[in-house]
A and B are shown apart, each in its own frame.
Chain A
Amino acid sequence: MSAVLLTRLKITDLAAWTALEAGRRLLPPEHALIRLAREELYLFEPAEGFAAEAFEGPLERAIESSNFFVNPNKEAYRFLTSSEKGAALRPPEGAQGILARPRDDTRDGELWTRLEREHPLEGLGAIRRARLWWIWTRGPGGGPAFEACYAALGRVTGRASGLLVNPHAEADLAFGNSVPWRRVEEFLTHPAPGLEDAA
């Protein structure tokens, strides 16, 4: 099992704000996008023969005490060790999630090299990256309307449909409720699913 770091801006996130404004114009009638937030996800994968516990302690100290991953003046974070993160990735209350990864290898080799230089961590095999979009929606009945809103502003299919994920460069995993961490890890470590395959 891997350790996970989730970071988000605590100052105004202009990309999320723009996505909110642009996304609202794409929704079907009587649907609302109430709120939209963005987080960066880092998955710390143990090297072969190691468990995540081998590097989690020093990694947590590196995150806390340096600006390597997080600038505390503008960013907030959640570091979830392999034992603490629980069985599933849970959305914030009322939200639903879209996890987007590049179609290429999700490993950030450049970041890993820099981390090794500044904070060498025995047992760390790879750092994988993805982006999480959280959306709060409302449909005609007054409840959440994730499916309709995802179709309108999730995966780009045409000029007027989709916004957050271009499926030719990225793959996405949309989830209405929680999603098992095992599924998240598979999604990030396996090759990206085909264009027509629903993740």
Chain B
Amino acid sequence: MARAAVLQFPGVNCEYETVRVLEAVGVEARIVRFNEPAGVLGEFDAYVLPGGFAFQDRIRAGAVAAKLPAVGRIAAEAEGGKPVLGICNGAQILVEAGLVPGLAPGRVEMALAPNRAPRRQGYLCQWVRVRAGDGPGRAIWASTADREAAVPLPIAHGEGRFVTADPDVSACIQMEGLALFRYVDASGAAAESYPDDPNGALFQTAGMTNRAGNVLALMPHPERAAWLREVPLDWPGPWGDRRRAAVGSFGTLEGAGPGRALFESLARHLGARHPEEAAR
């Protein structure tokens, strides 16, 4: 059975729901504390750095956790091709550790800067739409995603704006399709302004991969949208219609939500068998 480690740094707060969704797609998941011997991490097939506030975001979000031996070990495993997913604060850690975009190994080439939107400052908590592109990470993270679909996901961050001060890095990201997930409007077109584009990120990036595509830094929280019941009742479009139609039907509400596809894609890449299939 495919096994994933969900890293628990002091201050993360999404590790349990991350484990739950991994298990729902047939991946055995274990929470690994940041100070366990880093060698333990070698036993796993994939790694998830969950959301939260590692080390209380002191200095900068992700800055302290990025220096830990556990992240160094994950960097080494990523070089070997194992998938690594950083969600929100986990994405900030991956960027601060130089794993994303990872054009020059070991070099930090980006930052997740404070959100920038007209007349808004600070922490932002809302639902947005993202669409998967055709970058190198598609086979791992979006193989089950509809190319045209605008997938609703929640965001909750103060520093989610992918930026780089290096024009060569920016050019590479665009040329190689590393901005795998981008914020879009209801029609699926690139988001042009707030609230479709919630933070002013470079290329409206919601999720950026490395060149190999096996490391993904994703600002929205797919684990918070992994069940249909988690979709807001007033959300417009097909997912909202499904959610409203499911009112009163417990079984339907316990079905997959829009964020599940990313984990299903990962599970497929890892060769995991869906729990229902395994039960048969």
Residues of A that sit less than 8 Å from B by CB: 14-15, 18-19, 22, 25-26, 102-104, 110, 156-160, 162-164, 166-170, 192, 194-195
Contacts and interface: CB of A to CB of B under 8 A. Distances in A.
A167 B107 CA distance: 12
A192 B165 CA distance: 10
B190 interface: no
20 contacts: A18-B58, A18-B64, A26-B67, A103-B163, A156-B96, A158-B108, A159-B72, A159-B75, A159-B97, A159-B108, A160-B67, A162-B108, A164-B59, A168-B109, A168-B111, A169-B112, A169-B163, A169-B165, A192-B165, A195-B166
Contact of B66 (A25, A104, A159, A170): A159
Given A22-B67, A159-B98, A169-B111, A194 B56 contact: no
Given A22-B59, A168-B108, A163 B67 contact: yes
Contacts of A104: 113, 116
Interface string B68-88: 000110010000000000000
Interface residues of B, number: 30
B55 interface: yes
Given A22-B59, A159-B75, A169-B114, 4 more contacts: A104-B116, A160-B106, A167-B165, A195-B166
Nearest to B159: A169
Q: Is the interface of B mostly helix, strand, loop or mixed?
A: loop
B173 interface: no
B222 to A, nearest CB: 25
B38 interface: no
A168 B166 contact: yes
Contact of B71 (A14, A15, A159, A170): A159
B107 A158 contact: yes
A168 B106 contact: no
Nearest to A21: B64
A157 to B, nearest CB: 6
B60 interface: yes
A158 B103 CA distance: 12
Contacts of A162: 108
B56 A14 contact: yes
Contacts of A170: 111
B121 interface: yes
B91 to A, nearest CB: 14
Given A18-B59, A110-B121, A168 B67 contact: no
A169 B58 contact: no
A168 B116 contact: no
A160 B97 CA distance: 8
B156 interface: no
Given A104-B116, A168-B164, A156 B59 contact: no
Contacts of A103: 113, 163, 165
B106 A15 contact: no
B110 A15 contact: no
A194 B167 CA distance: 10
Contacts of A159: 66-67, 71-72, 75, 97-98, 106, 108
